[in-house]
Amino acid sequence: MGKFSLEELRTIFSSSTEFNEIFDAFQDALAQQIKDIELYRLLFWNDFLSADEISFFGNKLAEEFPEIAYDVFMWLANVFETIYSSQDNYEHAIIYYQKAASVRPNDPDPYLDAADCYDPDLNIPPLDLLIAFLKEGTLHVPDPTKLYARLGHLYELAGNEDESLRYRRLAQQGGTSVSE
């Protein structure tokens, strides 16, 4: 039996402004072997926590429960994309999309969601970083058609018409991954 009930954990994760209380509750949740991602989403969205603290909790959770690591990393990416994008220019979001892709490399969502982070007015995150990440994804995703389409668009934004055309053609052809 844990120190905190599930309802107490929810309350602490969502509204506590004391790091030590949040940390104790988190440790207790881990000790109770609670793997409910919905509970931890409350923690990730707690406005009191800094980006480093959210990263700490998320990384520890993924380490303790590898079976939910993909969901943890996708949620962290979403949190950082939404809340911290203006401060770190999507750096944390991209890191967590990459971590999610490392857990489930054949899932197109981390790659596609990362591409959606791009702000053409500010060129953040850097196009070359996104392009490299999506190219890596084409090697793993069984049907990389959507990745090819995004690559075509990103190359167009980068001013590389040849590569843009190449990837748009691959997207139209559909199908199988190609190696560089």
Write the CATH number for 139: 1.25.40
pLDDT in tens, 36-91: 999 999 999 999 999 899 999 999 999 999 999 999 999 999 999 888 655 655 88
Q: Is residue 134 part of a domain?
A: yes
pLDDT in tens, 117-172: 888 887 788 899 999 999 999 999 999 999 999 999 999 999 999 999 999 999 99
Distant-in-sequence, close-in-space partners of 139: CB < 8 Å, separation ≥ 6: 177, 179
Q: Is residue 95 part of a domain?
A: no
Total domain count for the chain?
1
Per the structure, the complete domain to which residue 165 belongs is given by 108-180
Q: Which of 110, 44, 115 is nearest to 80 (CA)?
A: 44
